[in-house]
Amino acid sequence: MTASTTHLSYPRPAISRPARAARWLSRHWLLTANILLALYTGLPWLAPVFMQLGWTGAGSLIYLIYSTQCHQLPQRSFFLFGPQPMYSLSDIQAVWQNTANPLILRQFVGNGEMGWKVAWSDRMVSLFTGLLAAGLLYAALRRWLKPLPWWGFVWLGLPMVLDGGSHFVSDLAGLGRGLRDSNTWLATLTGNIWPAAFYTGDALGSFNSWMRLLTGLLFALGAVWFAYPYLDAGLTLLADQPAVQERLQ
């Protein structure tokens, strides 16, 4: 006589919308991060566009929002819709106010003749554009890329710390008067092999400009290479854990 076994099936509990959203986000965190970075990185460039179109309210709002995260000094910022991509401190002082007070200088957003300032500095442009570019690159290489060791991140981040720190110390002496404004130390070390414009000021193509751009990119590369593989592994593991799946139901 053969015994028969009855198998009872129970309906799986419905998954709530917040739970589905959390599960989707854990599996698509990189897409979400890159989209948010693209929006965050792109908004400062819309400020000069809005000013050029005459939408001063929208442009001023973007300047105000990003002023909480950046010094917005015009001599260290890009300009759109003008004859030059960047201007010297003396150029800004000639059309704005003859002052070295950063709290006053940062208020200059541009004009119809010079163009309009991007809502954050060239270093911030380099840093956050670098984060976005590195994030997109990681999306293509995530299956093969191993995390950067902590000491690698330190080495890639150290140049920006040194460059930003020396700019800060230099600015304490007054804008236009510090060691990073003339860079005579660099001219001496290199024997003045480059034009004077390379050593002095913050214009595009100067030593200071190159250092802000390059160190921002290096820091961004190190941050993504170090952090994203761990985030990827952790969030993927979290999403696939049976206990977590049960709690999300």
Q: Is 29 a domain residue?
A: yes
The radius of gyration of the chain's CA atoms, rounded to the nearest angstrom, is: 25
Confidence (pTM): 0.85
Q: What stretches of 67-206 show up as alpha helix (H) in DSSP?
A: 89-95, 102-105, 122-141, 150-172, 179-182, 184-190, 196-199
Any domain includes 217: yes
**Contact call for residues 221 and 130 (beta carbons, < 8 A):** yes
Q: What is the pLDDT of residues 107-140, one digit of tens each?
A: 999 999 999 999 999 999 999 999 999 999 999 9
pLDDT digits (tens, 9 = 90+) for 43-74: 999 999 999 999 999 999 999 999 999 999 99
- 99: closest CA among 75, 122, 63? 75
Domain span at 23: 17-248
All residue ranges of the chain with pLDDT < 50 are 1, 243-249
Residue 161: inside a domain, yes or no? Answer: yes
Tally of domains in the chain: 1
Q: Is residue 12 part of a domain?
A: no
